[in-house]
Every structure is written in structure tokens, then in C-alpha cells.
Amino acid sequence: MSFLGIELNDAGITCVTDAGVVFSEPGCALLNDQGMVFGAAAQQAASRFPRAFHDRYWLRLSDEPLTAGLGGVQTCADLVHAQLAQIWEVTANDVSQVAFSVPSYWSRDQLALLLGISQELDIPLKGLVENPVAATRRPYPGYELLNIETGMHLTGISHMHSEASEIKYALDTVADTGVVALRRTCAEYISGRFLECCRFDPLHDAESEQGVYDLMDEWLATLVQSGTTKIRMNYKGNDYSALLDVASLSSQLRRCSQALIQVLRSVVSVDQPTALQIDAHLASYPGVVDMLLELPGCDVFVLESGAAARGLWARHKNLLNNSSSTEAGCSLSVSLPFDQLPVQAAEKVVPAIMNCSPTHLLHAGVAYRLGALAFHIGTELDTSDYGFLVSSRHAGVSRQHCSIELSEGHVRLNDYSRFGTFLNGRKLKGSAILQTGDLVSVGDPACDFQLITEAGPDGA
């Protein structure tokens, strides 16, 4: 009799026993008159039958109706039940205990629904753990630790304790930055290259679009390894080819990931090195790791595939420690002991070079040069202060609200206020390193300051 750890991340539902990974598939389904299929089989028909394809039901686990149901499958919870039933049928042999690792952004109502589904399926559930806790198996001495959890349509960011595998607090969730958006960006890039090379647009037709998605993983693996690669595709008896370049694809994936980067820039500590622990889903896309390394003071550590499921299995005897009770009575573990040695410096990805720093602050058509003196923003300034006095028509501005200063070759924003300073629309957590194009906002209505770089010797 054995233990089964199941990681419920819709980008890759993974099951681990003492034999290793015994099952893995994405959380998606295809429903049509012939029945329903899940995982890779559903993905291989997604472009041909888009109305029958579903990939948000794990994220939206609830009694919310599906856009197109089938027989007894009418809600997101019904689809979760059906896929989990198939997974359990495949993996149940000789399993006496099961634990789930679940997304950090799930509500308690969603956890209760999951427990109810598990009881209906007679799954011998021992406990629940949040994915970042299960995936974090070793300390990061000297670092602040942020875990980035990538799903199909959502990315979660959690601030972890350095002395235990435990979430200090959930920082944010970023919509439309998951695997689906990344894969769509790759498909659009590949289609564009076919169009440029041979006037063939594979996204114009459902059948050829499906062919792009079916071959994408193979093409990307070759591209990452070689830097450039020539790809070929046969469609309706015609052969088409295109040349892919990893730098060009990386540039497009950067644009796709900007929402995630902006959130991280508002929460990354500038006073202590930060370890960004990312899953294998995110790390597999060209340029994404390099983009994360451009964040000031950040090192990136890539987890192995199915890290949360592996962490569940390795520490399943500790699952009942430090747990709280859910509505259905099953334990929810909020921390687990480390079972691996601390990270070593050699394991981090080598950081990239930072972009050049801004030189001026632009407000209402006036450019203020940034230099040796800190630039102060508030409703009261000392006579010796260099800065901007905010009008009383802007509510929610402190006397000494924030400052912008040069620090160790970077331009640093410091928030001192009770009301909050916003960086590109996100509330700042303490301090941040600024880049050209950033928008700093204070008060209501917002008083905006944009970071710009001098283009020549005569001004901004």
C-alpha cells in the first residue's frame, strides 16, 4: 500500500508515488456528441472544435455553468469531478493515502468543493497543501523568497518564509499571463514566420492551426537548443518551411509577460537579494528567465517538473503537522519541514545586464533632472529639498510622501506615506528600482510622474 501525491495545477496535473511520476496531463477537456476526453487528447482537437474545448474549469471550480455542457456534465465542478475520476481510476492501484497540493489562490469554498468531490470518488484523502508550500523543499539563506506559480490562465505570486516551507502571504495573482497566453504568443510568432517565408498563414485555418500547436513543443525544444532552426509543415499536400530565431521569439514573449513583470517590480525587495522560485512551465519559454533576471537583486531558481507533487510525496508523513481544519474537516497544512539542503549559488541562473537608468522625471510638461540630490514628492517640502510640492486638490498625499534617488547606479523609488505610492498602477511595497517609461502616481486624482531618459546633450 502506498501514498499518492497529486498536484492540482491545471497547466499540468501530476501524480507521484514511490515509483516517481506515474501520471501527468493538463487540466483541459473536450466535450462533444462522442463523449469527453481530457489532457493531451483534448488539446489535439482544441483548434478544430473550439466551442467544445474547456480549460478554465479548474481555475473556476464552482457550480458555474459551462458554455457548452454534455449530458450530466454541466458545470465546472462536474468537469473537475469527471477528470479527477479518470485520474483516480488510472492511479488508484495499491494507494491507501492521497494528498492534494492546490493553487494558492483557491478560495475555501473551492477547497470544500474539492473535498466533496473526493469523498464522492472514495479517494482516501489525507490532507491538502498549497502548491508553493509543497514545491518549496529547501531554504534560501540570505534571500527574500518569492514563489511564482504558473497555471493555464493565471499566475500566482507568494512570499515564502525563509526558515520553513510556509507562505508568509499571497502577494498577487496576474490574469492572462499563464501557459495559454505564452503558447498563443508562440503560435502567432511561428505563423508570422511562415507567412513571411512562404506566404502561408497556418492560423487562418483550424486544421493547420492545430498542426502548429501539435508540433510546437518539438520546435521550441530544438530552437532553445540551437538558437535558430528551420521548421517544416505539411498541409493539404503542400510542404511549407520557416526559419525561427530564439531572440525574436523571446522579444514577443517578453511583451506577453509584462503584466507579471510589473507586479514583481512593485513587490521585489531592493534592500535584500530576492530568490524567484519558478516552475518548469514558465522556465520552458525562451527569454522569460532572462527577463526575470533583469529585476534588480533577483536570482532565478527553476523547480523540476511536478515539484509540488514530488514535495508532497517526500514529506507526506508531516502533512498533519501545523494544519488547520476546512469546512469539510480535512486538514489543510500551512507549512512543511524542509527535506533538502539549502540552495547553492552555483544553482542560480546567471543574471543579465540591467537596462540603462532614467535621467529625468517628467510632470506636466516639465522635466526634472535626477542627480545627486533626492527628488522629494509631498504636500510639504523643506527649503533645502529638491522636489515637487503636490497641490491640496490631490487627496491622499502625505507631507513627505515619497522620494526618488540615485542609489548604487540605479534610480530608486521610496514610499514613506500612509496612503501608498503607485508604480505603473500597482501599489508599491516599500521601495522599487525604476526604469525608463515607468509611471509613478500619488494621490486622488492621480498626480503622475513619468521616468524618461535624456536623448541628447540638450535635455530630455
How far apart CA 137 and CA 302 sit, in angstroms, is 13
Q: Are residues 130 and 72 in the same domain?
A: yes
Cβ atoms of 333 and 319 closer than 8 Å: yes
How far apart CA 5 and CA 395 sit, in angstroms, is 51
Among the listed residues 210, 205, 212, the one whose alpha carbon sits nearest the alpha carbon of residue 191: 212
Q: Are residues 441 and 368 in the same domain?
A: yes
- Within-domain flag for 405: yes
- Within-domain flag for 352: no
Q: Are residues 365 and 332 in the same domain?
A: no
Where a domain ends, among 252, 272, 297?
A: 252
Question: What SS3 state is found at 157?
Answer: strand
Q: Are residues 186 and 88 in the same domain?
A: no
Q: Are residues 98 and 33 in the same domain?
A: yes
How far apart CA 49 and CA 37 sit, in angstroms, is 12
Q: For residue 405, what is the domain's CATH number?
A: 2.60.200.20
User: What is the distance of C-alpha 20 from the center of its chain?
Assistant: 25
Q: Are residues 192 and 102 in the same domain?
A: no
User: What is the distance of C-alpha 173 from the center of its chain?
Assistant: 8
C-alpha cell at 250: 523571446
Backbone angles phi, psi at 423, to 5 degrees: -110, 115
- Within-domain flag for 269: no
pLDDT given at position 327 = 46
Model-level pTM? 0.85
Q: Which residues touch 261 (CB under 8 Å, ≥6 apart)?
A: 291, 292, 295
Q: Are residues 128 and 41 in the same domain?
A: yes
Q: Are residues 318 and 367 in the same domain?
A: no
pLDDT given at position 351 = 46
The sheet carrying 298-302 orders its strands as: 298-302, 274-278, 144-150, 154-160, 165-175, 335-336
- Within-domain flag for 117: yes
Q: For residue 211, what is the domain's CATH number?
A: 3.90.640.10
Q: Are residues 193 and 241 in the same domain?
A: yes
- Within-domain flag for 364: yes
Q: Are residues 125 and 15 in the same domain?
A: yes
Dihedral sign, CA of 256, 258, 264, 269? positive
Q: Which residues touch 82 (CB under 8 Å, ≥6 apart)?
A: 29, 36, 38, 73
Instruction: Determine how many CB atoms are found less than 10 A away from the CB of residue 130.
Output: 28
Q: Are residues 195 and 247 in the same domain?
A: yes
- Within-domain flag for 208: yes
pLDDT given at position 320 = 54
Burial class from Cβ neighbours inside 10 Å (0-12, 13-18, 19+) for residue 388 reads buried
Cβ atoms of 353 and 149 closer than 8 Å: no
Q: For residue 103, what is the domain's CATH number?
A: 3.30.420.40
- Within-domain flag for 79: yes
Q: What range defines the domain where residue 232 resides?
A: 179-252
- Within-domain flag for 258: no
Strands (E) in 90-212, as ranges, are: 95-102, 125-130, 144-150, 154-160, 165-175
Tally of domains within the chain:
3
Amino acid at position 228, single letter: T
Pairing label, strands 154-160, 165-175: antiparallel
Q: List per-residue pLDDT tens for the chain, 460 residues long.
A: 689 999 999 999 999 999 899 999 999 999 988 889 999 999 999 999 999 999 999 999 999 888 877 778 999 999 999 999 999 999 999 899 999 999 999 999 999 999 999 999 999 998 999 999 999 999 999 899 999 999 999 999 999 986 767 777 767 899 988 999 999 999 999 999 999 999 999 999 999 999 999 999 999 999 998 999 999 999 999 999 999 999 999 999 999 999 999 999 998 988 889 999 999 999 999 999 999 998 988 999 999 999 999 999 999 888 755 445 444 457 778 888 899 989 876 566 544 444 557 999 999 999 999 988 999 999 998 888 999 999 999 999 999 999 999 987 789 999 999 999 999 998 998 899 998 989 999 999 999 999 999 875 544 4
Where a domain ends, among 336, 351, 379?
A: 336
Q: Are residues 329 and 369 in the same domain?
A: no
